[in-house]
Every structure is written in C-alpha cells, then in structure tokens.
Amino acid sequence: MNRNTLIKLVHVGARKLFNNEDARREWQFAHTGHTSCKAMSNADMERLVTELRRKQALEPRRPPKRAGRVPFNRSNYMNKIEAQLASMGLSWQYAERIAYQVTGGNGNKPNTSPGIKRLEWVRKAEHFRAIIAALDVEQKKRGLLASVEELLKQLGKEMTYVETIVPEHMSGKWNRNRAWLRHIVEALKSEYNASQGDVPSRQFKEHKGDAKGLTFPPEIEP
C-alpha cells in the first residue's frame, strides 16, 4: 500500500472515530510516537490503519489473496503463514517484507546473497520458521495492545493515560514492546482490581512532579 493511500485511510478512519483534532493527534501519538502522518513511517501508518479497522472505523480488510499467483511451494509452512496473515488482516506483502529481512535483505546479513523478495522463492525451513516466529510475535503484540485498550475502557481512561505512567524513554514506543505491553496489562489489571476493592494496586507509584508512575519490571530494568 503506497504512502498516499495510507495517509488517506488514516484521515478517513480518524474522522469517524474522533470528534476533534486534539483527540485524533493524541491517539496517533499513543500508537506511533508522532502526532502527524508526515512524521510517520509507512509501518506506523499501517498500524494505525489496522487499529482503525479493528475499531470498525474503516472497512475490514479481506483475508490476504495470492494476487493471482499460487505458491508452487505450498506446504504446512505456507498454510501457517496464510492463517497468521488472515487473522491480522494483513497481505502477503507483509510476510514478504519479513522474508526479505530474514534472508539477508536490508543489510541484516551482508555476507550472504541479497534477501528473497517472494515467498515462492523461500526454500529453507529455517527461513520459514523465522517468518512464522516474527508473525507470531506481531500477533502477540496486537493481542496485548487490545488488552490494554479494553482495560483502559473499563477504567474509563484514554490511551494517552499510559503515556503518563511509562518512563520517558518508552514514550511513544511501549505499544511495540512486548515486555512493556505485558507489564502494562498487569499494572492496569491491578489498578482495575483495586478500583473494585478486590486487590490493592502495587504496580503504580505515587506521581511526584514529572516522574512517571509505572515501575520497571525486572526483565526490562534499564
């Protein structure tokens, strides 16, 4: 999907989802770290489009098609990749970008041949497994982000609330970090339970000045 199309989709969907410009910019910043599409990468805008579709502000994307081609190396690996893409409403091109990276593209493996750009040309099991693993990570990130949004909804808070409790260096980045997403989910669960009088909230510190309120989980202590 080209950049102009992505910008148009973000604007169309955001107009349906938000009543004012400030709310739209806050939402964009919470998901990408940028308030304007001009400052975003294509990948940033693709995430926004995915979120807008999930919120039904845009028409849902059809499951990925083969663009007129049937992979001649159809296998269990390809079936798995197709199912992963369909579950996230992503195209074959998304998986092909991953394939290109794991097979030496973008300078990741300079001592090997250039990256493979078509899934039909992938042959090694290790490359298929790497593609599937990358898609699995993306599924988990999206699932955790959906949990964050649902918990915020239950707490009556906006997505921008998370920006007030994460450390400065994670501002605009936490939504793509699986470790932080897990920690935020647990913290919000704790806060929700505390609000219901069930369990005291232990994940949040008292806000003092400009200090962020969310403690570091051990596995991501800076």
Chain mean pLDDT for the chain: 79
More confident residue, 21 or 215: 21
Average pLDDT over residues 181-210: 67
pLDDT of residue 215: 52
Average pLDDT over residues 96-125: 78
pLDDT of residue 209: 30
pLDDT of residue 88: 83
The sign one gets for the Cα dihedral 29, 20, 214, 219 is negative
More confident residue, 177 or 211: 177
pTM over 0.85, yes/no: no
* 143-to-146, 182, 202, 211 alpha-carbon distances in Å: 5, 10, 24, 28
pLDDT of residue 182: 92
